[in-house]
Amino acid sequence: MPAPLALICLAAHYVGTVVETPAGWALRLPDQSEVVWDDGREKSFAEALSTPDLEDTLAQPYQPGPILPVTVPDQDPGRIRSDALLAATYGGSAEAVALQSVLFLGQTVRVHPRAAQALSRVSSKLDGHMDAATAAFVTGPLGGTFMWRPIANTNRRSAHSYGIAIDISVKGSDYWEWQKSADGSVRWRNRVPQAIVAAFEAEGFIWGGRWYHYDTMHFEYRPELLDPACRLP
């Protein structure tokens, strides 16, 4: 059987070589460890978040385009991440993550070199093409980029730990935990303009406003999720 096309696509965006092992298809990382494509386990969403195989990280398709409310519980495309693959690609410790300065709409931010050119293109796309209300989301104080930290209330590493995420203005943003109702249900809300979302998505960044557990200031370089060749059949 040939290797899954989505795995070949994933390998092109990260470090690692597609290999066939006794346990099935996998990516062999530079340290010779292997991350399995399909571990054959049925998982709840919580299990997929904590112990994903590579296929799980692509299981929820990411849909760019017009901003729409997210009402399907646990529809969080991109929140399932392979820490092993991200650590191998970007760095497995605070010291190991290389960072590069990028001029983002007049401010210097530090991101991983693999995301730097894409972020720079987002900046060029927006620069001079925003009305004042739109510009306020990206030109004032930013939420930040690199921060070696776990996701709040979890053991999982945030995308900010790898230098591949940027939080735009906190002031105009909405976050699911700020709006959670007493019964635990989540009501999606967003104020970030379409033009900003479109500029990031065109350069391989996913947006946290596409998540049921939304985080509308959050953009994250995940080119595989915006590459149609990486979609599961």
Report how far residue 130's alpha carbon sits from residue 143's, in angstroms, rounded to the nearest whole number. Answer: 20
# residues near Zn ion by CB under 5 A: 3
Report how far residue 143's alpha carbon sits from residue 97's, in angstroms, rounded to the nearest whole number. Answer: 19
- Closer CB to Zn ion, 165 or 206, in the complex: 165
- Closer CB to Zn ion, 17 or 154, in the complex: 154
Q: CA of 78: how far to CAs of 53, 59, 63, 216, 217, in Å?
A: 13, 9, 11, 14, 15
Q: Which stretch binds Zn ion (CB under 5 A): 47-55, 147-155, 182-190, 218-226?
A: 218-226
- Closer CB to Zn ion, 16 or 78, in the complex: 78
Report how far residue 23's alpha carbon sits from residue 133's, in angstroms, rounded to the nearest whole number. Answer: 53
Q: Which residue's C-beta sits nearest to Zn ion?
A: 218
Is 174 a binding residue for Zn ion by CB under 5 A? The answer is no
Is 201 a binding residue for Zn ion by CB under 5 A? The answer is no
Report how far residue 115's alpha carbon sits from residue 111's, in angstroms, rounded to the nearest whole number. Answer: 7
C-alpha closest to that of 220 among 75, 88, 78: 78
Q: Tokens in use for 23?
A: 């346990």
- Closer CB to Zn ion, 210 or 218, in the complex: 218
Shortest distance in whole angstroms from residue 127 CB to Zn ion: 22
Q: CA of 4: how far to CAs of 7, 54, 56, 90, in Å?
A: 5, 11, 13, 24
Shortest distance in whole angstroms from residue 161 CB to Zn ion: 11
Shortest distance in whole angstroms from residue 217 CB to Zn ion: 6
- Closer CB to Zn ion, 78 or 91, in the complex: 78
Report how far residue 137's alpha carbon sits from residue 166's, in angstroms, rounded to the nearest whole number. Answer: 12
Shortest distance in whole angstroms from residue 221 CB to Zn ion: 12
**DSSP E strands: which ranges in the chain?**
17-21, 24-28, 34-36, 100-104, 107-111, 165-167, 205-207, 218-221
- The footprint of Zn ion on residues 94-113 (CB under 5 A) is none
Tokens 């930040």 locate to 144
Is 167 a binding residue for Zn ion by CB under 5 A? The answer is yes
Shortest distance in whole angstroms from residue 153 CB to Zn ion: 15
Is 76 a binding residue for Zn ion by CB under 5 A? The answer is no
Is 218 a binding residue for Zn ion by CB under 5 A? The answer is yes
Q: Which stretch binds Zn ion (CB under 5 A): 6-14, 114-122, 157-165, 176-184?
A: 157-165
CB-based contacts of 173: which residues, under 8 Å, 6+ apart? 143, 167, 191, 192, 215, 216, 217
- Closer CB to Zn ion, 54 or 165, in the complex: 165
* Interacting residues toward Zn ion by CB under 5 A: 165, 167, 218
